[in-house]
Amino acid sequence: MSHSVTSSRRGFVASAVGMGISAAASAASEAALPKVKFGKAEVTRLIIGSNPLYGYAHFNSIYGRAMREWMTQDQRLKVLKRCEEVGINTWQVHFDQESVADLKRYRDEGGKMNWLLLGHGEMMKNPGLIKDAAKLDPIGIAHHGNLTDDRFRAGEMDKVRDFYRMVQDAGIPGGISTHNPAVVDHVEGRGWDNDYFMTCMYRVSRTPEESRREFGEAPLGETYFEKDPERMCKMVRQTKKTCFAFKLFAAGRGIDPAPRIEQTFRKIFAGIKPGDAVIVGMWPRFKDEPKENADTVRRVLA
């Protein structure tokens, strides 16, 4: 074995141990994950999401800070490379200066995953940034889900349509992200020409008033109700467009006990279409989540 190959392998093992991954789990290649066709790309049905990479815990500020402190840029690059090694070929991420810097470094260091982009922050205020993002070759750009739900509530869905059409004009598939099944129903009922949806399995954007009307009371913080996935999956099956399902595990609330993870993957894959995929956030501080998730999805879809 050459010195360069030996050094490369040692470097990966050291990286793996830094993420709490055993040397045994860092074995070379992994079997391919099932893929679906999306535009010009082939996308694995398991996609890594970006929230844990950037400290968006959707739980509380302490957990978010813990995520953020561990997830330095070096650590994010290790996680992305690990995902690629276990067979995941797509990374879903929001658009801002930090994520763009990570993308450029990831590609400079040989990373090959597809880049599925979520409009975020300044892009939502300045759609002119769509053209800048398009130069980075994303496979899709979606209107941000929280803002979609706000605009749906305010009767301003024309702004959502204008956004994804600007994406399409830039030569990129244009999508709509949402946490509310009624948004999918609204869009499909009007025959809009968006290319895809990002569909949250939990309607976390309910306002306290909406929760009180629906359930008689409001929770503390975001809303995660047990039948929300069923409600969204019903709408996913009613559209022919590709859907990327996300927040399968209620932002970490649904990962215990451990067997529940496979049960949830089975439930969601059974509820969406064969041409759809799932987006899962990963924070492998204590275990090799990319490998565990990839192995579970292979088993579920076998």
Say which CATH number the domain at 182 has: 3.20.20.100
The residues of the chain scoring below 70 in pLDDT are 1-31
In a domain, 12, yes or no: no
- Token pair for 104: 């450029």
Domain residue limits at 205:
32-301
The closest of 223, 233, 239, 177 to 201, measured between CA atoms, is 233
In a domain, 225, yes or no: yes
The closest of 128, 115, 129, 123 to 143, measured between CA atoms, is 123
In a domain, 151, yes or no: yes
In a domain, 93, yes or no: yes
* pLDDT tens track for 87-100: 999 999 999 999 99
The closest of 200, 197, 198 to 222, measured between CA atoms, is 200
Mean pLDDT of the residues in the chain: 90
The predicted pLDDT at position 30 comes to 56
In whole angstroms, give the CA distance from residue 291 to residue 203: 28
Query: To the nearest 5 percent, what fractions of the chain are helix, strand and coil?
Result: 50, 15, 40
Kindly report the pTM of this predicted structure.
0.88
Contact between 79 and 290 (Cβ < 8 Å): yes
In a domain, 271, yes or no: yes
Domains: count for the chain: 1
In whole angstroms, give the CA distance from residue 18 to residue 194: 41
In a domain, 188, yes or no: yes
Contact between 271 and 236 (Cβ < 8 Å): yes
The predicted pLDDT at position 22 comes to 46
DSSP 136: T
In a domain, 126, yes or no: yes
* pLDDT tens track for 145-154: 999 999 999 9
The predicted pLDDT at position 78 comes to 97
In a domain, 1, yes or no: no
Q: Is the dihedral of CA 114, 118, 121, 122 positive or negative?
A: positive
